[in-house]
């Protein structure tokens, strides 16, 4: 998909907060940590967004995966203080324990490494540094001149930022997943009806592609999934035992050949939350504890973080920023569910980074 620091949106915020212990929308408290993950790379809001996060966010959340019981945790050194100061665009979410409600989201900039919050005069979930402009959910075009999103009916629009022109480029029921080369990849938008077991929601769909300017999509695979995209191909989760709720396998789709094969198997509660600059997926395994691994190749998952659930964990949206990756924070720890952003520098590992006292923080762009 490219580098998020250059305007690539990897995953979207799923921030329709519930007045419960940091629960993601629609997930009952008794199943926290035992659910199909929110879809990476698809926006929670259909209006001016990319479609509901059915699993893995983005993906969002953000938004991932693990190497399985045969691997061991690797203790990595803690990051050292950087030599340069930069400003990280963020969206701040505060929970009021007295009223059990989330306040309206606030945009701002967190200085790194000093963690000083500077309020911003803007609304949105993404920050365009070149235009000094906050933007709604959407998938940036490769040239950085606009973004695409799907409307409530599933039609895909392209917005040109400088002119404001909004054009429907794909009709039907689709959610933009990502760009790869000169192709826009889309996931089929399918809904499940409500039943006695609960409300309906997004169902897994087929993956398709079209040109940068849109047109009739061509199906890439008939396999139904909650898809995400990187420069290495497309990714989705499934389960080796379809009677179990939690996914335990990550599938890789070769976009050139259409070959679909597992790159990771037998790891319950796995969930992709983002990618590094080379397209390798970061995999979150969040159950009784938290572990994050970077999948460098087929069955080659390497631990980059391990810790208790009380500390929280990284989630989408995630942004590639040069050779680093920024992740949004998430927490299920009362009373405020405070969660800083997370930072992955190569050779150092993934760790909590700057934050706002008493708040959860989502990343909205690269640090500049």
The CATH code of the domain that includes 273 is 2.130.10
Give the structural domain span for 314: 4-74+127-329
Q: Are 230 and 253 in contact (CB under 8 A)?
A: no
Determine how many CB atoms are found less than 10 A away from the CB of residue 204: 20
List the beta bridge partners of residue 174: 188
Task: Give a yes or no: residue 218 inside a domain.
Answer: yes
Q: What is the pLDDT of residue 246?
A: 84
Q: CA 353, CA 109: separation in Å to the nearest integer? A: 14
Task: Give a yes or no: residue 279 inside a domain.
Answer: yes
Task: Give a yes or no: residue 79 inside a domain.
Answer: no
Q: What is the pLDDT of residue 152?
A: 92
Task: Give a yes or no: residue 353 inside a domain.
Answer: no
3-class DSSP state for residue 244?
coil
Q: What is the pLDDT of residue 195?
A: 65
Q: Are 104 and 92 in contact (CB under 8 A)?
A: no
Task: Give a yes or no: residue 268 inside a domain.
Answer: yes
Residue-level length of the chain: 368
- Classify residue 171 by burial, with Cβ atoms within 10 Å: 0-12, 13-18, 19+: middle
What are the b/e assignments for 32-57, b being 16+ CB within 10 Å?
bbebbbbbbbbbbbbebbbbbbbbbb
Place of tokens 């959860």: 360
Task: Give a yes or no: residue 115 inside a domain.
Answer: no
Q: Are 110 and 90 in contact (CB under 8 A)?
A: yes
What are the b/e assignments for 285-317, b being 16+ CB within 10 Å?
bbeeebbbbbbeeeeebebbbbbebebbbbbbb
Q: What is the pLDDT of residue 244?
A: 75
Task: Give a yes or no: residue 350 inside a domain.
Answer: no
Q: What is the pLDDT of residue 19?
A: 28
Number of domains into which the chain is organized? 1
* pLDDT digits (tens), the chain, 368 positions: 333 333 233 333 222 322 222 332 322 222 222 223 333 332 232 223 333 222 333 332 233 222 232 222 122 233 344 447 999 999 999 999 999 999 999 999 999 999 999 999 999 999 999 999 999 999 999 999 999 999 999 999 999 999 999 999 999 999 999 999 899 999 999 887 776 666 767 889 999 999 999 999 999 999 999 999 999 999 999 998 877 778 999 999 999 999 999 999 999 999 999 999 999 999 999 988 999 999 999 999 999 999 999 999 999 999 999 999 999 999 999 999 999 999 999 999 999 999 999 999 999 999 99
pTM of the model: 0.79
Task: Give a yes or no: residue 120 inside a domain.
Answer: no
Q: Which two tokens stand for residue 344?
A: 């992955």
């Amino acid at each position: 998909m490219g580098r998020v620091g250059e305007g690539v949106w990897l995953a979207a915020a799923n921030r329709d907060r519930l007045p419960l212990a940091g629960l993601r929308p629609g997930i009952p408290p008794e199943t926290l940590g035992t659910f199909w993950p929110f879809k990476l790379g698809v926006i929670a809001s259909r209006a001016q967004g990319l479609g509901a996060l059915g699993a893995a966010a983005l993906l969002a959340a953000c938004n991932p995966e693990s190497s399985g019981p045969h691997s061991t945790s690797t203790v990595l050194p803690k990051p050292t203080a950087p030599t340069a100061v930069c400003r990280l665009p963020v969206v701040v979410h505060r929970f009021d324990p007295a009223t059990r409600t989330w306040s309206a989201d606030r945009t701002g900039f967190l200085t790194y490494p000093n963690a000083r919050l500077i309020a911003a005069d803007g609304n949105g979930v993404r920050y365009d540094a070149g235009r000094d402009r906050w933007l709604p959910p959407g998938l940036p075009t490769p040239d950085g001149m606009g973004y695409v999103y799907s409307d409530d009916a599933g039609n895909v629009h392209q917005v040109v930022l400088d002119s404001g022109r909004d054009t429907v480029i794909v009709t039907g029921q689709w959610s933009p997943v990502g760009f790869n080369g000169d192709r826009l990849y889309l996931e089929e938008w399918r809904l499940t009806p409500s039943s006695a077991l609960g409300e309906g929601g997004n169902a897994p769909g087929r993956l398709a592609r079209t040109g940068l300017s849109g047109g009739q999509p061509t199906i890439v695979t008939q396999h139904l999934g909650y898809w995400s995209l990187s420069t290495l191909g497309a990714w989705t989760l499934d389960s080796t035992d379809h009677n179990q709720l939690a996914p335990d396998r990550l599938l890789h789709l070769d976009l050139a050949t259409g070959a679909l094969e597992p790159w990771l198997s037998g790891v319950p509660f796995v969930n992709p939350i983002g990618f590094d600059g080379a397209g390798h997926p970061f995999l979150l395994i969040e159950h009784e504890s938290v572990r994050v691994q970077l999948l460098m190749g087929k069955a080659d998952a390497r631990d980059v973080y391990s810790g208790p659930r009380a500390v929280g964990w990284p989630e989408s949206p995630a942004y590639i920023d040069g050779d680093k990756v920024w992740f949004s924070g998430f927490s299920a720890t009362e009373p405020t569910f405070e969660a800083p952003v997370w930072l992955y520098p190569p050779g150092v590992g993934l760790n909590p980074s700057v934050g706002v006292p008493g708040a959860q923080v989502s990343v909205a762009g690269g640090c500049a």
